[in-house]
Chain A
Amino acid sequence: MTASAQSTVWGRLGLAALLIVAYGVIPFVGSNYLLDAVLTPFLALALAALGLNLLTGYAGQVSLGSAAFLAVGAYAAYNFNLRLHELPFLASLVAAGLVAAAVGIVFGLPSLRLRGFYLAVSTLAAQFFVQWALTKFGWFSNNNSSGVIDAPPLAVAGFTFSGAVGRYVFSLTVVVVATLFAVRLLRTQVGRNFIALRDHEVAAKVIGVPLLRTKLLAFGVSSFLIGVAGVLWAFAYLRTVEPAGFNLDRSFEILFIIIIGGLASVRGAFVGAAFIVVFPLLLSRLGAALLGSTFDSGVLEMSQRIVIGALIIGFLIAEPRGLIALVDRGTDKVRRRLRRPDPVPVQS
C-alpha cells in the first residue's frame, strides 16, 4: 500500500470514528450547554468557514463580506418559510442557499475586472448594503421595527427537531451533507479550476480555464454554503436574530477561522471554527481564575481581541497553513510511532 493510500484509509477511519461519536455518543451524553452554546454554533461557523475557504482558500478571491451572505441565507429562509407555507423546511433551506448564491454572484461580478485589494474592498459593499437593506425594508423581517426575526421550528417530513439535541443533530446532518458536496466539488474539474485561478490567473486563462465562469461559480458555491450556514446560525443556534448580528466583525471572524484553521483545507475550516468557539470560553475561565474579579467582560473582550489578532499574525508568520498543519504533523508522529515501535530509522 502506498503512503498516500494508507493515509486515505487512516483519514476515512478517523472520519468514520468522528461521525460515530458525533451521532452516537454526543447526543446522549452532551449537556444542553455543550450542545447549544458550543457545538451548534461550531457547526454553523464551520460551514460558513468552509464556504469562505472555497472562495478565498481555493479560488484565491478574498471576501470581507461573509456575514452579509449569512444574513441573506437566514432572512431568505425566514421569508420562504413565512410566505410559502406549503414549502417544506428543507426546501426553504436549499432555496435560501440559492438566494444567497444569487446575491453572491451579483457581488462577485466586480471580480471579473478587479483583483486583490480592490476586490476585497468591493466585497465590503455587500456587507454594508445587505445590512442596510435588511434594516431598512420591513418586508424582509415581516415588518418588525428593528428587523428582528424569530426562527420557526425545524420541521422535516413531519418530524420536528426541537430541544438542544434536535437542533444539534439537524445542524450536524446539514453540515455533513454540505461538506460532502464541497469535498466532491473540489475533486472535479471545477475544484482544480479554482486552484489554477488562485495560483496564477493569467496562466490559468492561457491553459484554458474559463475565468468568468470559474470566478462566478466560486462566488456562487461559496455564498450558497455560507447562506445555508446562516440558516443554521439563525434557526438552530440563536433562534432570534437581527441584522446587526451580521456585522463586519462576524465577517472577520469567519476570515480568521480559515486563516487560523488553514487556508485551502476543508478540515481546516472545522479546526479553526472549533478554536474560535472554544477559545473565548477558555480565556474567560482562565482570566477569571488568574485575575479574579478585575477580569470583567470588558477586559475579556479586549484581551480576546488582542490574543486573536496576535494569533493571526503568529500563524501567518510561523505556520501559514494553519492549525490543520500542526494537527497533521502531530498525527503523523503518532502514526509513525504506532507502526514502528522500534524507532530505528530505515534508509529508503
Chain B
Amino acid sequence: MFDYQFFIEVLVGGLLSGVMYSLVAIGFVLIYKTSGVLNFAQGAMLLFAALTFVSLVERGVPFWLAIAATLAIMVVLGVSVERAVLRPLVNQSPMTLFMATLGLSYVIEGAAQLLWGTQVHGLDLGINDVPFEVGGVLISQFDLFAAAIAGALVTAFALFFRYTRTGLAFRAVADDQFAALAVGLRLSRVWAAVWTAAGIVALVAGLLWGARLGVQFSLSLVVLKALPVLVLGGFDSVAGAIVGGVLISAIEKLAEVYVGPLFGGGIEAWAAYVVALGFLLVRPSGLFGQKLVERV
C-alpha cells in the first residue's frame, strides 16, 4: 500500500529545502544575466561570507555589527573582483571567463581558510529547528524561515530592479551590453554592483547553509547543488532559479527515498544532474532560459 502521508511529507520537505538551493542559484543568475559569466566562485563567496561572519562573532563582535562588517567585506570583494578579474578579461569568450571564476574560487577558498582557519564552526541564528505538524505532515521551522528570507530577498531584488536607476542599468546591461555601453552606461560600475549584489546573496545563503551544515569547507560545495538547478531553470532567470531549486530538491528527496533503495542508496549526488540532463535534452535552454539564435 502506497503511503501517501509519507510521500507528501517527503515532497513538502523537498520543496521547502529547495529554497536553500534557489538562494545559491540566484547569486549565479544575477551575475550571469548582467555579464554572461557563469560564476563558479559563488560557492567560494558563500563560504567566505559565512566564515568571516562566524569568525567575527566568535571574536566577540555583536551580531549586527558582524553582519555589517561582512557586508562591507563582500562589497570590497565584489569591487576588487571586477577590477582585477573582469575588467582585464572584457570581450573574452564566456568559457574563458568561466575558467577565470574557477581560478577565483580557488583563490577565495584558500584565502578564507588561510585567514580564518579550517576548523568547523557552529552557527546559531537563533531559530530552533523544531518541526511542527500541519495536517499530519511534519514541516521544518528552519526551512520555513529560509523560505521567508528567500522570499524577502527576491522581493527586494525585484523592487530594486524595477524602481532604481542602478536596477535599470542592470536590466539594460542584461538586455544588450553593447547598446548599454553605447548609451553611456559604465559597464565596470554595473559589474562591480552586480558582484556586490551576488556577494550579499552569498552572505544570506552562507548564513542559512552554515546554520544547517556548520561553517566549513564543504559549504563551498553547495555550488554543485546549485548547478543542476541552474540547468533546469535556465542560467538567466531568477524565476527559473526559484522554481528549479524547489523542483530539483523535491525530485532529489523523492528519488533518494523511492528510487535510491533500488541502487543501494546515495544517489543524491547525481540524481539531480541526471534529471536536469534529461530535461535539457528536451528543452536545451532550461525552463525559463532565453533561446539562443546563432548566426554564421
Using a CB-CB cutoff of 8 Å, which residues 87-104 of chain B contact chain A? 88-89, 92, 94-96, 98-100, 102-104
Of the candidates B89, B96, B267, B273, the one having the most CB atoms from chain A within 10 angstroms of its own CB is B273
Shortest CB–CB separation between residue A141 and chain B, in angstroms?
Answer: 14
Question: Known contacts A132-B267, A136-B266, A259-B99; is A316 also within 8 Å of B94 by CB?
Answer: no
- Whether A306 pairs with B277 at a CB distance below 8 angstroms is no
Contact of A312 among B106, B109, B228, B286 (CB under 8 A): B106
Number of A residues contacting the other chain (C-beta, 8 Å)? 45
A113: contacting residue among B38, B84, B107, B281, CB under 8 A = B281
Interface residue B179 (Cβ < 8 Å from any Cβ of A): no
Considering the complex, which residues of chain A in the window 105-139 have a beta carbon less than 8 Å from any beta carbon of chain B?
Answer: 110, 113-114, 116-118, 120-122, 124-125, 128-129, 131-132, 135-137
Check if B263 is an interface residue, CB within 8 A of chain A: yes
A130 shortest CB reach to chain B, Å: 9
Judge whether B159 is part of the interface by a CB distance below 8 angstroms.
no
Chain B, range 101-142, C-beta contacts under 8 Å to A: 102-111, 113-114, 118
Say if the beta carbon of A16 comes within 8 Å of chain B. no
| A179 interfacial by beta-carbon distance below 8 Å | no
Is A255 in contact with B235, judged by CB distance below 8 angstroms?
A: no
* Chain A residues whose CB sits within 8 angstroms of the CB of B88 once the complex forms: 317
Whether A310 lies near B103 (C-beta < 8 A) is yes
- Partner of B114 from the list A114, A256, A306 (CB cut-off 8 Å) is A306
By the criterion CB–CB under 8 Å, are A309 and B273 in contact? no
In the complex, whether B60 has a CB less than 8 A from a CB of chain A is no
Please give, as numbers and ranges, the residues of chain B lying within 8 Å of A311 by CB-CB distance.
103
A308: nearest chain-B partner, CB-CB: B106
Contact status B270-A132, CB under 8 Å = yes
Chain B hits for A136, CB < 8 A? 263-266
Counting CB contacts under 8 A, is A252 at the interface? Answer: yes
Q: Nearest-CB distance from A219 to chain B (Å)? A: 15
Any chain A CB within 8 A of the CB of B246?
no
Contact A313 B85 (CB under 8 A): yes
> Among B84, B111, B270, which residue has the most Cβ atoms of chain A within 10 A?
B270
Which residues of A (190-219) have their CB < 8 Å from a CB of B? Answer: 200-203, 206
Q: Does B230 contact A (CB under 8 A)?
A: yes
Is there a chain B Cβ closer than 8 Å to A305's Cβ? Answer: yes
Cβ of A299 under 8 Å from chain B? yes
Residues of B contacting A128 in the complex (Cβ-Cβ under 8 angstroms): 224, 269-270, 273
**CB pair B114 A206 closer than 8 Å:** no
Residues from chain B with Cβ under 8 Å of A317 in the complex: 85, 88-89, 100
Check A113–B284 contact: CB distance below 8 A: yes
The CA of A125 and the CA of B106, in the complex, are separated in Å by 21
What 0/1 pattern do residues 199 to 240 of B give for CB contact below 8 A with A?
Answer: 000000000000000000000000010011011000100000
CB distance from A128 to the nearest CB of B (A): 4
The yes or no answer to B296 lying at the interface (CB within 8 A) is: yes
Check A284 for interface membership: any CB of B closer than 8 A: no
Report the bound CA distance from A259 to B106 in whole Å.
Answer: 14
With a cutoff of 8 Å between Cβ atoms, the chain A residues found around residue B100 in the complex are 312-313, 316-317
Instruction: Take A132-B267, A252-B102, A255-B102 as given contacts and tell me if A305 and B109 are in contact as well, using a CB distance cutoff of 8 Å.
Output: yes
Using A118-B280, A202-B295 as known contacts, list a sample of 5 further A-B pairs with CB atoms less than 8 Å apart, ordered by residue number in A: A118-B286, A125-B274, A200-B296, A202-B294, A299-B114
Binding site for A on B (CB under 8 A): 38, 84-85, 88-89, 92, 94-96, 98-100, 102-111, 113-114, 118, 224, 227-228, 230-231, 235, 263-267, 269-270, 273-274, 276-277, 280-281, 284, 286, 294-296
Q: List 18 A-B contacts (CB under 8 A).
A: A117-B98, A118-B280, A122-B273, A129-B273, A136-B263, A136-B266, A201-B294, A202-B294, A248-B224, A298-B113, A309-B104, A309-B106, A312-B99, A312-B103, A312-B106, A313-B103, A313-B107, A316-B99
